[in-house]
Each structure stands twice: as structure tokens, then as C-alpha cells.
């Protein structure tokens, strides 16, 4: 049996770190590989041929040799996941949906998937494989019991192109003991953390060592969900690292109460954990109580963060604004805390109600939910919650203003200095060779710092740790991450919505450059939409090299100077156009997230498109 597993392209978000990946880090295309697919591959019968394609790093095959195509997805990937399922099904493949969102809302897949795997797949996937071989497969396999993680196999890391990711994922536990009102993790994975055995973890690390991995991310919901077991894991990791020259630099997700256990922090340090992601959400005790995040109420949060720093561990954190107790002052409080604590990568979201969570049920009952497209992307100025203590427009404006303040060069530098005052001996070393490290620094300076002008250069110099060089990798990573966020925010979050005149001017310039072709009807241009403007360009007649020479800079400038998207539709194409067309694509690649390409089905073999760079539209009915 031939099985093709696909991780669909993510829409761009703060997490994509696009600027860092394209401009600074060597040969990396995405942050993390799809661990769920590698786990699923390991659960297949040994005689099945399995291939994993991650559309975030490579194009999807349009004519795969596969009996079954399995597509995973989080909520943010839902529309692409549906598009891929529909496409492969229309080509005669048997299509299966699984992953985070199919686990939470399997009912939403009924139309496009032949089978839905809902929940952890360690047991039910084996059932599906058996049934499929016998021709008795069902439409839905739903895990309703409890999966013991000791039954989870070593993921097929060998099927992933690990060198293209900044971190490689592995997992020790699932589930979290807490009960934050907005959280869907405990709906999917429960409140009793389940863990793998230390032997299993050791086997996975052996495999990652064999594959020459250095940066590893424990993607647990909360690594310290079961404290005694977490301590055993960390002691084991320390011993493992001792034996193997500290090959790994680790990171993970954990709850803030880790700060209350100095022995635990000591173990984190000893095992070489460089950073931890923590859901801080709010510094207001009333809001924390409201959302049942009581584990954050043990002490002043700044004290907790600084204690974690004192063990050499950097803190990334998530914040939420929009709790019922929050007011317009909350924005200022969050700004002050994030700055004083020196949190370089604050993931700030407006309170959003995800389906099936207690928050969703409460707000629905109170009539405080609106419909919002793509509710899953919660790091943008939009929410499906009607705020209680401030107008919706004010919360959106406050959100944009907060990011603006945090992402000024001065704001970034101030946070770095506040962080370094307490993160004196960071464990994080970068995980790169000296040569690679110098290359990264060089690109950061020339592509990130110098283009920011004298003020950014000055702020950068002020953050350099002249007396403590061990802090340098942290400073470099801080600037790379912060400039990546800044670049994304400037394009997608904080841009003024009033770009209309700039848009029209750019389209006019483009049109006048190719006016002969437009008049002849060989190409059409149409600017559509206001909130999310889109320029539709349709190639429909004979186009020569001169056309591409003139259209390329115009389109490139359109994308560079506006935040609009472009839909490039190819309805006619001759073989001699391939070279100039590819030249056009190369110039637009850096804006690929905003470029949608629709190729007439009869021409697809003639016009190869890298779907990991551009949005390759496969749905039939596209305007
Ligand atoms: C690691 C991680 C990330 C990483 C890497 C993501 C990646 N490439 O895989 C990073 C940090 C980049 C990330 C980012 C985001 N994430 Co995330 N992430 C996780 C985390 C912590 C672990 C995922 C994981 O690897 N699990 C380990 C594997 C083994 O388990 P699994 O994926 O559940 O897979 C099992 C089954 O689902 C099934 N399965 C999986 N795939 C498939 C496919 C098929 C065909 C089948 C049959 C079965 C199947 O088999 C597996 C074994 O049982 C989860 C939390 C969680 N516990 O799932 C959140 C989680 C998946 N993320 C989430 C979110 C919301 C996001 C963001 C949108 C956050 C944001 N607001 O910006 C971004 C989006 C990413 C982007 N680029 O835009 C949500 C998704 C909610 C949902 N129900 O859809 C989760 C569940 C956390 C949460 N509740 O907040 N994330
Ligand atoms: S600590 Fe995190 S994973 Fe645990 S319930 Fe709260 S939000 Fe969910």
C-alpha cells in the first residue's frame, strides 16, 4: 500500500518567522516539522510505503503515486486542508483527514474526507489500516478512550527533511492538569498528563543524534504537568547529555509554576534547556482568576520570570487581552510588564473563544459571540468575542498600538537589556557551528540592522554584551526574532488600512507599462476588495519576453509597497514563456505568501509552481 501524508501550507503568521527564515538562517524553510505525521507513519504496517510531504518546505505532488492521501491540519490550516482533500479525492485517491482540528471538530470534514481520524491515532489508525486492507474501512474512527503514550512508537524522523527546520520536535507527555477556561488542549488531551517511558525518550534521542540534530523542542502541552515525572525526565536528560557531549539544546512549553521549584529549574539548566514558552496571559490577578489560570497567582509574575532567567533559561510568553476584567488600561499594563520582564517574543492575542471550550459555551449562552472567519489565528487584531468592558474598535486599536510600541527599535533594545540583566548566563548557545554562527551574525547586521539606519545601529550596539560574550547568541537570536516579528507586523498587523491611493497608483503604473497587452486583451488587471485588497492578473493571450520584462518590476513593486495580495491566473501559456515566467516567479518569491496562483488544469504540467513558496490554488471554482 502506498500512503502519502501531507502537512498543508500554513497561512503566514508571527510563528512563520518568515524574515528570519528567508534572510538570515541558513537553508531553513520552517520552524518545526510535522511530528504527528512522523508518528502516524511509524504506526503503519511495515510493508506500507509511506512518504511525508510538508508543503511549508517543499511543493506538493500534483500527480502522486499513492493509494491513500492523508492530510493533517490545525484550525489555521483548515481551508488548505479541505482544498487538498478535495483535490486528491477528485484525482481518484482515497483521502483521510486527521490532526488537531479533525480531532476537535471531526464533523467539519464530512464532505471532503473519505475517512476522518479523530483524536490520538496510536490505536485507531492501526484499525483503519487493517480495515482498509480488507476493504471495510469506515468514515469515522474516533478515539474516545485513553491512549497510553508507552504505546506510541518512535516517530519516523527519517522521513522528514530535518535539515530544513530550525527545531526538531519530540514529545514526552500529552495533557495538562490545569483548567484555563479558553483552552482546547484539555478538551483534546485531558487533564491527566500521560507520559512516554524514559527508554522511549532515549530511543528517540538516539535517532535524532544519528540524524545530526542539535536543536530539539519538546512539544508537550505542559512539560511539568506531572512534576515528579518531569523531574525524572530532566534528570535522565542530564545524564544523556553528559554521555553524549551535550549535543542537544532543548526548548519546551511549561506552566509558570515551574518558577516555584528551584530544584526543577536546576534540572532544566543541567539538561541544557535554553528556553521555555509560558502562557502568562495577564498580570492582573482578577483576569487570571476569571479565566481559572490560578497557577499564575503564586507570586508576582515578574519575580517568577526573573527567577527562571537566573537559571539561564530564556522565557517566551503568550499574553491575552480581552478578559471581562480587562479595560483599556490593560494595554499599558501589558506593555510595561513585557518591557520590564524583557520578553522578546510576546505572542499577544485578543481573547478568542475556540469551539468546544468552556469559554465558548459561556459566551454563547451570554450571546457574546460573533462569527469570525478563521477564528484559529489568534495573533491578529480580531476576535469572535464581544468584549465586556471596552468597545470592540478600541480593543483592536489598542492591540495594534501595543505591537507598534513593542516593535520600535528602541522598544526591542530596551527589552533585550532588561532580559540580559537577569539572564546573565544563558544556556542557549545557538546550536550552530562557529562558521554558521558568524554567517548568521553577518546577515543579521547587513540585512536587518544596517537597513534600519543609524538609530537601529545605535540600539543594536547598545545591546551587545561586550563584557559577557556568552550572552551573544541570545542577543543575536533576540534581534533576529524581533526583527522578524516587526517585519510581519508592519506588513500585516499595524499597517494603516488607508492605502487606497497608493494601491491605485501602483496598478496604474503597472497598467501603463503593459498597456499594449492589456488593450489587445492578452492580459487583464482587476483591483478588487477593500479590507483585504487583491489584484487579479489574468494571462490569457500571446505574451512575449517584453511583456514579462515590463510586468515583473511593476508587480514586484506593487507587492513591495502595498499589503495587498495578487492572484495570478494562467489561462493560456506557450512553452517559450516558461523562462521569463520563471524569472517573474523568482522575483515575486519573497512575497509568495500573498501571491495566489491559479493554473488552468490543462496547463499544469507545463507550468510548474512551488506550492511551498506560492499559494497554489487547486479548488476549481476560483474567480
Ligand atoms: C508544536 C506545536 C506548534 C509548533 C509547530 C507546529 C507544527 N509544524 O507541527 C509551532 C510553534 C510552530 C506552532 C504554531 C502554532 N500553533 Co501549535 N501546537 C504545537 C503543539 C504544542 C504540539 C503539536 C505536535 O507536534 N504534537 C505531537 C503529535 C505527535 O501529536 P498530534 O499533532 O496531535 O498528532 C496526533 C494526532 O492528531 C494524529 N494525527 C496527526 N496528524 C495526522 C494526520 C492524519 C492524516 C491522521 C490520520 C492522523 C493525524 O496522530 C498523531 C498521533 O496520535 C500543539 C499542542 C498539541 N498537543 O497538539 C499546538 C497546537 C497544535 N497549535 C495550535 C495553534 C492554534 C497554533 C498557532 C495557530 C498559534 C497562533 N495563534 O499563532 C500556530 C500556527 C502555526 C503557523 N505557522 O501559523 C493549536 C491548534 C488548535 C486546533 N485544534 O487546531 C494547538 C492544539 C495548541 C492549542 N490548543 O493552542 N504550534
Ligand atoms: S496551562 Fe496551558 S495547556 Fe494547561 S490548561 Fe492552561 S492553557 Fe491549557
Model confidence over 171-193: pLDDT tens digits?
999 999 999 999 999 999 999 99
C-alpha cell at 225: 504537568
Q: What is the pLDDT of residues 557-586, one digit of tens each?
A: 999 888 899 999 999 999 999 999 999 999
Q: What is the pLDDT of residues 17-26, one digit of tens each?
A: 999 999 999 8
Average pLDDT over residues 535-541: 95
Please state, as a whole number, how many other Cβ atoms lie within 10 Å of the Cβ of residue 371. 6
In degrees and rounded to multiples of 5, residue 525 shows phi and psi of: -125, 135
Residue 107 has pLDDT above 70, yes or no: yes
In degrees and rounded to multiples of 5, residue 282 shows phi and psi of: -155, 155
Tell me what pLDDT residue 501 has: 74
Q: What is the pLDDT of residues 336-364, one digit of tens each?
A: 999 999 999 999 999 999 999 999 999 99
**Ligand 2 center to 85 CA (angstroms):** 31
Average pLDDT over residues 589-602: 94
Assign 494 a pLDDT band (cuts: 50, 70, 90).
low
**Ligand 1 center to 312 CA (angstroms):** 27
Average pLDDT over residues 72-91: 96
pTM: 0.93
Q: Are 542 and 509 in contact (CB under 8 A)?
A: no
Percent residues over pLDDT 90 in the chain: 89
C-alpha cell at 354: 475556540
DSSP bridge partners of 346: 317
Average pLDDT over residues 318-330: 96
Short-list 421, 444, 422, 424, CA closest to 432: 444
Assign 623 a pLDDT band (cuts: 50, 70, 90).
very low
Mutating to test ligand 2, I would choose from 104, 178, 292, 294 the residue with most ligand atoms within 8 A of its C-beta, which is: 178
Residue 269 has pLDDT above 90, yes or no: yes
> Which are the contacts of 195, defined by CB distance < 8 A and separation ≥ 6?
149, 172, 173, 226, 229, 233
From the CA of 183, give the closest atom in ligand 2: 8
The whole-angstrom distance between residue 380's C-alpha and the CA centroid of its chain comes to 13
Q: What is the pLDDT of residues 608-617, one digit of tens each?
A: 999 999 999 9
Which of 182-186, 377-381, 416-420, 508-512 has the least mean pLDDT?
377-381
Residue 433 has pLDDT above 50, yes or no: yes
CA distance 368 to 366: 5
Q: Are 115 and 138 in contact (CB under 8 A)?
A: yes
Q: Which ligand sits nearest to residue 176's alpha carbon?
A: 2
Contacts 24+ apart (CB under 8 A), 397-403: 398/321, 398/328, 398/331, 399/321, 399/331, 399/348, 399/350, 400/493, 400/494, 401/331, 402/321, 402/331, 402/334, 402/335, 402/348, 403/348, 403/489, 403/493, 403/494
The whole-angstrom distance between residue 236's C-alpha and the CA centroid of its chain comes to 30
Residue 621 has pLDDT above 50, yes or no: no
Tell me what pLDDT residue 620 has: 64
Percent residues over pLDDT 70 in the chain: 98
Give the three-class secondary structure for 405.
helix
CA distance 51 to 505: 47
**Ligand 2 center to 280 CA (angstroms):** 10
**Ligand 2 center to 258 CA (angstroms):** 13
Residue 445 has pLDDT above 80, yes or no: yes
Average pLDDT over residues 355-380: 88
Average pLDDT over residues 280-302: 97
Which residues surround ligand 2 with Cβ inside 6 Å?
Answer: 176, 178-180, 183, 185-186, 221-222, 255, 279
Assign 499 a pLDDT band (cuts: 50, 70, 90).
low
Assign 373 a pLDDT band (cuts: 50, 70, 90).
confident
Question: Cβ(379) to ligand 1 under 6 A?
Answer: yes
Tell me what pLDDT residue 168 has: 97
Residue 74 has pLDDT above 70, yes or no: yes
Tell me what pLDDT residue 622 has: 42
Question: Please, what is the average pLDDT of the chain?
Answer: 94
- Nearest residue CA, atom 37 of ligand 1? 99
- Nearest residue CA, atom 6 of ligand 2? 180
Please give the helix or strand (H or E) that residue 347 lies within, else none: strand 346-350
Residue 88 has pLDDT above 60, yes or no: yes
Assign 38 a pLDDT band (cuts: 50, 70, 90).
very high
Amino acid at each position: 500500500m502506498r500512503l502519502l501524508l501531507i502537512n498543508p501550507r500554513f497561512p503566514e503568521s508571527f510563528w512563520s518567522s518568515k524574515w528570519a527564515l528567508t534572510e538570515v538562517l541558513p537553508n531553513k524553510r520552517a520552524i518545526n516539522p510535522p511530528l504527528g505525521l512522523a508518528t502516524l507513519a511509524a504506526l503503519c504496517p511495515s510493508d506500507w510505503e509511506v512518504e511525508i510531504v510538508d508543503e511549508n518546505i517543499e511543493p506538493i505532488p500534483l500527480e502522486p503515486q499513492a493509494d491513500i492521501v492523508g492530510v493533517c491540519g490545525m484550525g489555521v490550516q483548515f481551508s488548505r486542508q479541505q482544498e487538498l482533500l478535495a483535490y486528491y479525492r477528485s484525482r481518484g485517491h482515497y483521502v483521510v483527514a486527521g490532526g488537531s482540528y479533525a480531532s476537535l471538530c471531526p464533523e467539519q470534514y464530512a464532505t471532503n474526507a473519505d475517512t476522518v481520524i479523530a483524536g490520538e491515532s496510536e490505536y485507531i489508525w492501526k484499525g483503519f489500516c487493517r480495515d482498509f486492507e480488507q476493504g471495510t474501512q469506515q468514515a469515522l474512527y474516533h478515539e474516545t478512550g485513553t491512549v497510553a503514550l508507552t504505546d506510541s512508537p518512535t516517530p519516523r524522523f527519517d522521513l522528514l527533511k530535518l535539515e530544513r527546520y530550525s527545531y526538531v520536535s519530540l514529545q514526552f507527555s500529552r495533557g495538562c492538569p490545569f483548567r484555563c477556561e479558553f483552552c482546547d488542549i484539555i478538551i483534546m488531551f485531558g487533564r491527566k498528563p500521560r507520559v512516554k517511558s524514559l527508554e522511549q525518550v532515549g530511543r528517540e534521542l538516539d535517532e535524532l543524534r544519528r540524524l545530526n540534530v542539535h536543536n530539539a523542542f519538546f512539544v508537550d502541552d505542559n512539560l511539568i504537568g506531572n512534576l515528579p515525572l518531569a523531574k525524572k525526565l530532566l534528570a535522565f536528560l542530564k545524564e544523556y547529555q553528559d554521555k553524549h557531549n551535550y549535543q542537544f539544546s532543548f526548548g519546551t512549553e511549561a506552566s509558570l509554576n515551574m518558577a516555584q521549584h528551584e530544584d526543577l529549574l536546576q534540572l532544566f539548566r543541567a539538561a541544557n534547556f535554553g528556553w521555555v514558552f509560558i502562557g502568562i496571559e495577564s498580570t492582573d490577578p482578577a483576569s487570571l482568576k476569571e479565566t481559572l489560570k490560578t497557577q499564575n497567582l503564586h507570586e508576582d509574575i515578574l519575580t517568577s520570570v526573573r527567577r527562571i532567567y537566573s537559571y539561564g533559561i530564556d522565557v517566551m510568553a503568550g499574553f491575552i487581552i480581552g478578559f471581562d476584567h480587562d479595560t483599556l488600561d490593560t494595554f499599558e499594563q501589558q506593555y510595561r510588564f513585557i518591557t520590564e520582564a524583557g520578553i522578546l517574543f510576546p505572542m499577544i492575542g485578543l481573547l478568542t473563544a475556540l469551539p468546544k471550550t468552556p469559554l465558548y459555551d459561556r459566551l454563547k449562552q451570554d450571546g457574546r459571540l460573533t462569527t469570525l472567519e478563521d477564528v484559529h489565528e489568534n495573533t491578529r487584531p480580531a476576535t469572535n468575542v464581544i468584549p465586556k468592558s471596552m468597545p470592540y474598535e478600541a480593543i483592536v486599536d489598542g492591540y495594534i498600538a501595543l505591537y507598534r510600541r513593542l516593535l520600535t527599535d528602541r522598544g526591542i533594545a530596551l527589552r533585550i537589556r532588561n532580559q540580559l540583566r537577569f539572564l546573565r548566563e544563558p544556556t542557549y548557545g545557538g546550536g550552530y557551528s562557529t562558521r554558521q554562527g558568524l554567517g548568521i551574525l553577518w546577515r543579521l547586521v547587513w540585512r536587518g540592522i544596517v537597513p534600519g539606519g543609524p538609530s537601529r545601529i545605535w540600539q543594536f550596539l547598545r545591546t551587545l554584551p561586550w563584557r559577557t560574550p556568552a550572552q551573544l547568541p541570545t542577543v543575536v537570536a533576540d534581534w533576529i526574532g524581533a526583527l522578524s516579528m516587526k517585519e510581519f507586523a508592519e506588513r500585516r498587523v499595524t499597517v494603516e488600512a488607508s492605502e487606497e491611493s497608493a494601491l491605485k497608483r501602483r496598478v496604474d503604473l503597472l497598467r501603463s507599462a503593459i498597456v499594449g497587452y492589456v488593450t489587445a486583451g492578452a492580459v487583464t488587471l482587476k483591483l478588487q476588495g477593500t479590507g483585504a485588497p487583491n489584484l487579479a492578473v489574468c494571462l490569457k493571450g500571446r505574451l512575449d519576453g517584453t511583456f514579462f520584462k515590463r510586468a515583473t518590476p511593476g508587480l514586484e513593486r506593487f507587492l513591495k509597497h502595498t499589503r495587498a495580495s495578487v492572484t495570478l491566473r494562467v489561462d493560456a501559456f506557450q512553452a517559450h514563456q516558461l523562462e521569463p515566467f520563471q524569472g517573474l516567479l523568482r522575483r515575486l518569491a519573497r512575497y509568495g505568501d500573498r501571491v495566489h496562483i491559479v493554473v488552468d488544469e490543462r496547463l499544469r504540467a507545463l507550468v510548474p509552481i512551488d506550492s511551498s513558496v506560492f499559494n497554489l490554488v487547486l479548488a476549481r471554482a476560483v474567480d
